[in-house]
Amino acid sequence: MNFNEAKARHAELVEEIRRHDHAYYVLAQPTISDRDYDRLYHELLDLEKQFPQLLTPDSPTQRVSGQPLKEFKQVQHLQPMLSLDNTYSQEDVRDFVNRVQKLLPDEKLEWIVEPKIDGLAINLRYEHGVFTCGSTRGDGTTGDDITANLRTIRSIPARLHSGIGVSPVALLEVRGEVYLTKMGFEKLNAERQAAGEEEFANPRNAAAGSLKQLDPRNVAKRPLDIVVYGLGQVEGEPQQPQQHDQMLAWLKALGFKTPDRTWHCRSADELLAAIEALDQVRRKFAYETDGAVIKLNSFAQREIAGFTSKAPRWSIAYKYAAEQAETRLNGITVQVGRTGALTPVAELEPVFLTGSTISRATLHNEDYIREKDIRIGDTVKIEKAGEVIPAVVDVVLARRTGKEVAFRFPTQCPECGSRISRAPGIDEGDEGVVWRCLNPDCPAQVRGRLEHWCARGAMDIEGGGEVLVRQLVQTGLVSDVAGLYALTLSDVAGLERMGEKSARNFLDGVAASKQRDLWRLLFGLGILHVGAGVAKALGRGFATLDDVFAASVDQLTDCEDIGEVIAQSVVQWHGDPRNRQLIERLRKGGLNFKSALYQPKAKAGPLAGKIFVLTGTLPTLKREEATAKIEAAGGKVSSSVSKKTDYVVAGAEAGSKLDKAQKLGVKIIDERELLRLCGA
C-alpha cells in the first residue's frame, strides 16, 4: 500500500469506526458485532503503526493515550460557567415564573423542563470541528484541563458530525454533565469494597474522583458518560440555534447525547405537571437525577432576562425531596475532626438508600440529639440531602418500646481526654453548638490535618489516606504535615502491613507534592475559611507564600474575592508561632512556595488598564499569542463584551461578540491595529 492509498483507507476506517461508536455509545443501537468492530479497529491500529503520519489526536485509537500527568493545567473558559438557583416548593416555581414575566412584560414565555443530572459540569471546546480541550467548571472562570480524561468517554465525539460539504463551526463550546451510570457506580463501589478501598458516597463523587485521575488509563476503566445541555462560546456559525429545543436538536445532529426527555410548558401549572411527570420516569434513567431544570426556551428572551453574578435569571433548578429510609440506631460514637470539632455519629443497622448502603450518619451536635430526643435503640429516619454524608432527620416515635437509652455526650475529648469547650464563633455560623477539643496535639486533630493535606483536592498524595496516616501518627513517626518530608523508606516500609512497593509509591507521592502549586499548599494547611476557591484567589493575587503572609488585612482584601473575615483568619493563623515554625520546616523540606496562578495587577505599559476581547480567527496570531502580547503590554483580556470593554479585536468569522461590540459602540480593531497598540 502506498501512502495515498493508506491515507484514503485510514479516512474510511476512521469514519466507519466513528459511526459505530456513535451508534453504540450515543444512540445505544449497535450496528456491528464486537468481532467485526475489533477487526476494523486493529486494521486502523496497524495502518497507523505503518504510517505514523496519519495519526491525529482525534483518531479513535487515541481515546486512551498520553502519559499520566503530574498536575492538571488550568484553562480559562471563554464564557463563564454559572450555576443555578435552587427551589424546593411549588410556590417557588410560581414566584420564579412571575419574576421572569415581570422582566419580560408583554412577552409570551415558553419553558423547557429537563432532568437535572447529578454529575459534574464540564466544558468541551471544539475548534473547526475537532475536540481540542475539555475542562471542569472549577470556580466558573477557570477549571482543570481534563482533555485526556474526557477523550476516554466514547459518547464525546472526537470530531463533530457535519453534513457533507458543510464546514464545521470555527469555535464551539459545549456544556454538559459527566456522570457515572447508576449501575457503574454500584459495580465500582463493590470493587472498591472488595479491595479494601474507601467507597464513594454517591455517583457524583465517583464521577468527580474518576475525572481527577491523573492517568487517563485509569479513567478509561470507569463507566463514565455524558449528556449535554448547553453552549458556551460559538464563533463562525451563521445559523446558530435561537432556542433551546433547536439547540438540543443541533447538538444531537453534531453527535452528542442530549437529555432523555424534555417538556415544553407555557405556564406555571404546566411546569408543575412536567416536574411531576419527570419525577415519575427519572428513576429509569441510567444517571442519577436530583431535580428538574426549568429554562426559558428563547435565547432572545434569555438575553433580556440576563444574569445575576452567579446564575441566569431565566433558569432555575427544582430539587426533589431527598429520599429517606428507616433503620435502627445501634449506637452513637463521637468523632474528632481536624479542627477539634466533636461530631456525634449514628451507627446504624445497614440500609440501602439511593444507590448505596448506609451504616453511619451524622447527628450534627449535642443539641440536635437532645431536641429530637434521639435515643440509642430508636428507629430513625435517615436522608441523603445532596450532601455527601447522610443525616438522621427524625425518630419514628411509634416504634419506641421503652427500652431505648438516652445518649450522654462526653465531657472530655474521647480521643485524648483533654478539656473540651463550646465557645462560640470559632467557625462561621457556629453559635456555640459545637464542642471542640482544646488540645492542638490531639492525635485525632493531627490525623485530620494530615489527611486533609494529602487529600486529592489539596496536595494530592496518593496513599495518604486514613489507614496510613493513623499508623504514622500512632508510631510517632509524624506529628504534623512537615514531618512527612523527613520520612525515609525504612520508616514507612517498617510499618505493619506495608510492603516496600507501597511504601515507595507513597514516598514518591510525598516527593512529587513538593512541586504542587501554591494554592494547593495554602488549602492543605487547613486555615479557617481558606477553602480551595479562596486558596486559588490568593494564588492569583500573590506571587509567593511569603507575600501572602507578609500582607496586612487591608492588602489581603485588595485581592479579588478575599473578604475581611478570610483576611483576618490568614493573618491570625500566621500570628501563631507554631504555624510560623511549620512554614519554616516546609521551606527546609524543599516545598514550592510560588504561585503559577499569579496574575500581576495591571502593569505599566502602553495598554495599562485597557480591556480587550478577542473574537474570530486572527490572520497570524493564535488566541494565546494575542493574549500574551496584550498582557505583556499591560492590558487585560476578557471573555465577554461589556460596556467596560475598550477594544474588540476581530478576525475572520467573528461571532456574536462582534455584533455586541457594534451594539454597545465598543471600538473594533484588527490584528494590525492591535500590534501597533502593543508597540510591536
Nearer to ligand IVH among residue 302 and residue 636 (C-beta): 302
In the complex, the smallest distance separating the C-beta of residue 312 from ligand IVH, rounded to whole angstroms, is 5
3-state per-residue secondary structure call for 351-395: EEECCEEEEEEECCCHHHHHHCCCCECCEEEEECCCCCCCEEEEE
Return the closest-CA partner of residue 581 out of 497, 430, 479, 451.
479
Residue ranges in 227-256 that form contacts with ligand IVH under rule CB under 6 A: 229-230
Please identify, among the stretches 312-320, 338-346, 361-369, 395-403, the one whose residues bind ligand IVH according to the rule CB under 6 A: 312-320
Choice from 139, 144, 177, 480 touching ligand IVH (CB under 6 A): 177
Please identify, among the stretches 49-57, 114-122, 412-420, 649-657, the one whose residues bind ligand IVH according to the rule CB under 6 A: 114-122
CB atoms within 10 A of CB 256: 23
211 binds ligand IVH (CB under 6 A): no
Nearer to ligand IVH among residue 259 and residue 634 (C-beta): 259
83 binds ligand IVH (CB under 6 A): yes
In the complex, the smallest distance separating the C-beta of residue 311 from ligand IVH, rounded to whole angstroms, is 6
225 binds ligand IVH (CB under 6 A): no
Q: List the helix and strand counts (H, then E) for the chain.
A: 24, 22
Choice from 84, 273, 393, 543 touching ligand IVH (CB under 6 A): 84
In the complex, the smallest distance separating the C-beta of residue 228 from ligand IVH, rounded to whole angstroms, is 9
For residues 382 and 348, is the Cβ–Cβ distance under 8 A?
yes
317 binds ligand IVH (CB under 6 A): yes
Helix (H, G, I), strand (E, B) or coil at 504: helix
| Segment holding 133, helix H or strand E | strand 130-136
Residue ranges in 482-511 that form contacts with ligand IVH under rule CB under 6 A: none
Cα separation, 495 vs 541, in Å, equals 42
Helix (H, G, I), strand (E, B) or coil at 610: coil
Return the closest-CA partner of residue 230 out of 216, 217, 241, 214.
241
| Segment holding 244, helix H or strand E | helix 244-253
Residue ranges in 590-619 that form contacts with ligand IVH under rule CB under 6 A: none
524 binds ligand IVH (CB under 6 A): no
The shares of helix, strand and coil residues in the chain, as percent rounded to the nearest 5, are 40, 20, 40
In the complex, the smallest distance separating the C-beta of residue 121 from ligand IVH, rounded to whole angstroms, is 3
Cα separation, 280 vs 263, in Å, equals 13
415 binds ligand IVH (CB under 6 A): no
Choice from 116, 222, 244, 536 touching ligand IVH (CB under 6 A): 116
In the complex, the smallest distance separating the C-beta of residue 313 from ligand IVH, rounded to whole angstroms, is 10
Determine phi and psi for 503, rounding to 5 degrees: -60, -45
In the complex, the smallest distance separating the C-beta of residue 289 from ligand IVH, rounded to whole angstroms, is 8
Choice from 209, 312, 509, 589 touching ligand IVH (CB under 6 A): 312
- The three cell numbers locating residue 87: 427551589
Nearer to ligand IVH among residue 112 and residue 158 (C-beta): 112
In the complex, the smallest distance separating the C-beta of residue 211 from ligand IVH, rounded to whole angstroms, is 13
Nearer to ligand IVH among residue 138 and residue 259 (C-beta): 259
**Running DSSP on this structure, what letter comes out for residue 243?**
B
For residues 191 and 258, is the Cβ–Cβ distance under 8 A?
no
Say which residue the cell 442519577 belongs to. Answer: 288
- The three cell numbers locating residue 28: 445505544
3-state per-residue secondary structure call for 184-196: HHHHHHHHHHHCC
* Residue 588 appears among annotated catalytic residues: no
Nearer to ligand IVH among residue 292 and residue 380 (C-beta): 292
Please identify, among the stretches 65-73, 116-124, 489-497, 498-506, the one whose residues bind ligand IVH according to the rule CB under 6 A: 116-124
DSSP-assigned beta bridge partners for residue 669: 649
Maximum Cα–Cα distance across the chain: 87
315 binds ligand IVH (CB under 6 A): yes
For residues 413 and 420, is the Cβ–Cβ distance under 8 A?
yes
Helix (H, G, I), strand (E, B) or coil at 263: strand
Please identify, among the stretches 110-118, 166-174, 477-485, 520-528, the one whose residues bind ligand IVH according to the rule CB under 6 A: 110-118
In the complex, the smallest distance separating the C-beta of residue 183 from ligand IVH, rounded to whole angstroms, is 19
Choice from 26, 47, 121, 522 touching ligand IVH (CB under 6 A): 121
For residue 544, the one-letter residue type is T
Nearer to ligand IVH among residue 245 and residue 394 (C-beta): 245
Cα separation, 611 vs 646, in Å, equals 5
Site string for ligand IVH, 261-300 (x = CB under 6 A): --------------------------------x-------
| Segments in 121-181 forming alpha helices (H) | 147-151
Please identify, among the stretches 77-85, 568-576, 619-627, 641-649, the one whose residues bind ligand IVH according to the rule CB under 6 A: 77-85
Sequence-ordered strand ranges (E) for 156-279: 171-180, 224-235, 263-265
207 binds ligand IVH (CB under 6 A): no
For residues 547 and 522, is the Cβ–Cβ distance under 8 A?
no
What distance lies between CA 610 and its chain's CA centroid? 32
Catalytic residue from among 49, 70, 116, 667: 116
Please identify, among the stretches 30-38, 100-108, 109-117, 265-273, the one whose residues bind ligand IVH according to the rule CB under 6 A: 109-117
For residue 186, CA distances in Å to 35, 181, 203, 289 come to 28, 9, 9, 16
| Total binding residues toward ligand IVH, as defined by CB under 6 A | 15
In the complex, the smallest distance separating the C-beta of residue 118 from ligand IVH, rounded to whole angstroms, is 7
For residue 592, the one-letter residue type is N
Signed CA dihedral, 281, 206, 24, 81: sign only: positive
- The three cell numbers locating residue 309: 453574578
In the complex, the smallest distance separating the C-beta of residue 180 from ligand IVH, rounded to whole angstroms, is 14
Choice from 55, 82, 351, 455 touching ligand IVH (CB under 6 A): 82
Site string for ligand IVH, 337-376 (x = CB under 6 A): ----------------------------------------
In the complex, the smallest distance separating the C-beta of residue 279 from ligand IVH, rounded to whole angstroms, is 15
Nearest residue to ligand IVH, scored by beta-carbon proximity:
121
In the complex, the smallest distance separating the C-beta of residue 110 from ligand IVH, rounded to whole angstroms, is 17
Nearer to ligand IVH among residue 259 and residue 464 (C-beta): 259
Please identify, among the stretches 112-120, 383-391, 406-414, 616-624, the one whose residues bind ligand IVH according to the rule CB under 6 A: 112-120
Cα separation, 6 vs 26, in Å, equals 29
Number of residues in the chain: 680
Return the closest-CA partner of residue 561 out of 604, 592, 588, 597.
597
117 binds ligand IVH (CB under 6 A): yes
Please identify, among the stretches 111-119, 200-208, 264-272, 421-429, the one whose residues bind ligand IVH according to the rule CB under 6 A: 111-119
Cα separation, 478 vs 470, in Å, equals 10
Tell me which residues are annotated as active site: 116
Q: Which residues bind ligand IVH (CB under 6 A)?
A: 82-84, 114, 116-117, 121, 177, 229-230, 259, 293, 312, 315, 317
